Amino acid sequence: ETGVTQTPRHLVMGMTNKKSLKCEQHLGHNAMYWYKQSAKKPLELMFVYNFKEQTENNSVPSRFSPECPNSSHLFLHLHTLQPEDSALYLCASSQDGQRDNEQFFGPGTRLTVL
Amino acid sequence: QKEVEQNSGPLSVPEGAIASLNCTYSDRGSQSFFWYRQYSGKSPELIMSIYSNGDKEDGRFTAQLNKASQYVSLLIRDSQPSDSATYLCAVNGVNTGKLIFGQGTTLQVKP
């Protein structure tokens, strides 16, 4: 768990707020991912960054805005969210974005939108 | 048809028994297969990866892959109450880092 860290661990925000989630990986990996996990649903891939370049946007609404300044850091900027966006947001990293790479997850941010 | 299918369970086994968790996938070209364990309120933890047909053993865990049948399983020998968790099957598509997850199987190991 310490290989990938996420802050904050818990976040409560109103629909008009702007907040950011932060992820940092200490594994020397080059690919980073954002996932959403809602109750009773499979993990949903949101975004993929490989060597700081976004390679996947899985039809995510524009109220979620990712940022990857370098291979170790990943942000998810949130604005005008909806209550149905309440979920566990997970960051993961892998050696690179190729097919055989194992992904390692951070502890997640539990987001509640009021 | 879901891309990765798992029985949601719960699967209940007595302590010391073998727990068998199953997963099927739809993309015949998939090359990489992973099992993650997720305790309630925690994030997924990688426990096994398998890339070739056959069995791969790691301690009490054995992953089994049959690409012809598009089937991957996880066996847990000598199940312990601490093994009680949700087990997620994940499959990589061809030439992509995109992992597709199943909905997970909840395992309950009863003392």
The answer, for B89 touching chain A at a CB cutoff of 8 Å, is no
Interface check B20 vs A, CB under 8 A: no
Q: Is the pLDDT of residue B57 over 70?
A: yes
Pairing of strands A44-50, A53-57: antiparallel
**pLDDT, average across residues B39-62:** 96
pLDDT value of position B54: 96
- Ordered DSSP codes for A31-88: EEEEEEE-TTS--EEEEEEETTEEEEE-S--TTEEEEEEETTEEEEEEES--GGG-EE
The answer to whether the Cβ–Cβ distance between A99 and B94 falls below 8 Å is yes
pLDDT in tens, B73-84: 999 999 999 999
B85 touches chain A (CB under 8 A): no
Residues of chain A with pLDDT below 50 are 1
- Comparing alpha-carbon positions, the chain A residue that sits nearest to B90 is A43
CB contact A99 to B (< 8 Å): yes
- Tell me the per-residue pLDDT of A66-95, one tens digit each, with 9 for 90 and over: 999 999 999 999 999 999 999 999 999 999
CA–CA separation, A24 and B41 (whole Å): 20
Quick one: pLDDT at residue A41? 86
Whether the Cβ atoms of residue A88 and residue A60 lie closer than 8 Å to each other? no
Q: Check residue A39 and give its pLDDT.
A: 87
C-alpha to C-alpha distance for A71 and A82, rounded to whole angstroms: 30
pLDDT computed for residue A99 by the predictor: 61
- pLDDT in the model for residue B15: 97
What is the band of B97 on the pLDDT scale with cuts at 50, 70, 90? low
| Contact status, residue B48 vs residue B64, Cβ threshold 8 Å | no
pLDDT of A82: 94
Look up residue A27 and give its two tokens: 């594994």
pLDDT of residue B66: 97
pLDDT band at B6 (very low <50, low <70, confident <90, very high): very high
**Model confidence at B96: pLDDT above 70:** no
Q: Does A42 contact B31 at a Cβ distance shorter than 8 Å? A: no
Q: Is residue B86 less than 8 Å (CB to CB) from chain A?
A: no
Contact A43 B44 (CB under 8 A): yes
| Contact call for B102 and A42, based on CB within 8 A | yes
For residue B83, give the 3-state DSSP assignment: helix
Residue with tokens 């312990």: B80
CB of A46 closer than 8 Å to CB of A35: yes
Residue B1, pLDDT above cutoff 80: no
